[in-house]
Amino acid sequence: MDKAEVEKLQSKFETIYDEELFKDQTKILKIIPSVDVLIVRNNTSVNEAVINAAINLKVIGRLGVGLDNVNVDLCKNKNIKIIPAIGANTISVAEYVVSSMLVLSKKIFFSTDAVISGLWPRNKLMNGNELYNQTLGIIGLGNIGRSVAEKAKSFNMNIVSYDPYIKSVDTQFSYIQMKSLEDVLTKSDVVTLHVPLSLETENLINENKINMMKPGSILVNTSRGEILDENAVIKNLKSGKLGGAALDVFRKEPLTKKDGKKFLHVPNLLCTPHISGLTNQSNKRVSSLIANSVIEFFNL
């Protein structure tokens, strides 16, 4: 959490701030009974045991937007307010998606070692693609999906989207064509995922769905690792069916050396450690939004 925002909270509350606390469930359970406010990122499991032990808990601040690590139903039953940082990291994630699209389309991050070793692989890298007039498929058209669309529009991309909860778009986004999931997958040169993890979305992009995609298309996942079948992505990158993939999230996080072994030497793959929503600016916005919301909750 941004240091200045932690200090703001410390000026109002007795505050326990420990960046490693999420790793120690025993310690969490020991201190939680006296806690009125809990602020977490995505690695802290706010499960039934934690919530039942939190006899004084009134509000949970989520430094992010996904709530799959919080037992939301139990919080509702116990009248515990949950405050996610909606919108605060939208720009950061959208820029990550567009950056990944550019890098993977033009294959520009594959040449450094070869160039400095004197191989000069110019012919090998001449088959990159422009984003101009390509089709971008956005699965999940919330704040982040719309921000990606706005940025992609500046590249003159054609934009299609699937979101079962949105039947039509505002005039501002009239350039986005709402389609079925199958249409988005079959028509898109790039597919980006922006859906929450739920029973409906788990394993949404599996072997069958990838087979629907265009040969050479690109897949970007900044939502949750469980949304897609990692082994199917690896298989289709190796076969060339997928032209590239950017994975910022994984089924097991943090990704261990053992779990990460399957991703070694997979072509046209960009892996990052769940950082698409993290920049200096977004961390300040997220931290400020949560700190101010907690202070407002107690009318301080």
Cα separation values, 53 from 36, 47, 48, 78, Å: 12, 10, 8, 12
Record the tokens describing residue 2, joined without a space: 């941004």
Indicate if 265 belongs to the active site. no
Of 62, 224, 226, 285, which residue is the catalytic one? 224
Indicate if 194 belongs to the active site. no
HEC-encoded secondary structure of 128-160:
CCCCCCCEEEEECCCHHHHHHHHHHHCCCCEEE
Q: Are 244 and 110 in contact (CB under 8 A)?
A: no
Query: Distance (Å, rounded) from C-alpha 219 to C-alpha 161?
Result: 14
Q: Are 241 and 210 in contact (CB under 8 A)?
A: yes
Record the tokens describing residue 65, joined without a space: 């937007």
Side chain identity at residue 175, one-letter code: Y
Record the tokens describing residue 166, joined without a space: 């949105």
| Closest to 272 (Cα-Cα) out of 90, 89, 93, 42 | 93
46 phi and psi angles, rounded to 5 deg: -90, 75
In which order are the strands placed within the sheet that holds 242-247? 176-178, 158-162, 135-139, 190-193, 217-221, 242-247, 269-271
Indicate if 224 belongs to the active site. yes
Q: Are 221 and 193 in contact (CB under 8 A)?
A: yes
Record the tokens describing residue 112, joined without a space: 């450094």
Query: Distance (Å, rounded) from C-alpha 217 to C-alpha 67?
Result: 30
Q: Which residues are marked as active site?
A: 224, 253, 274
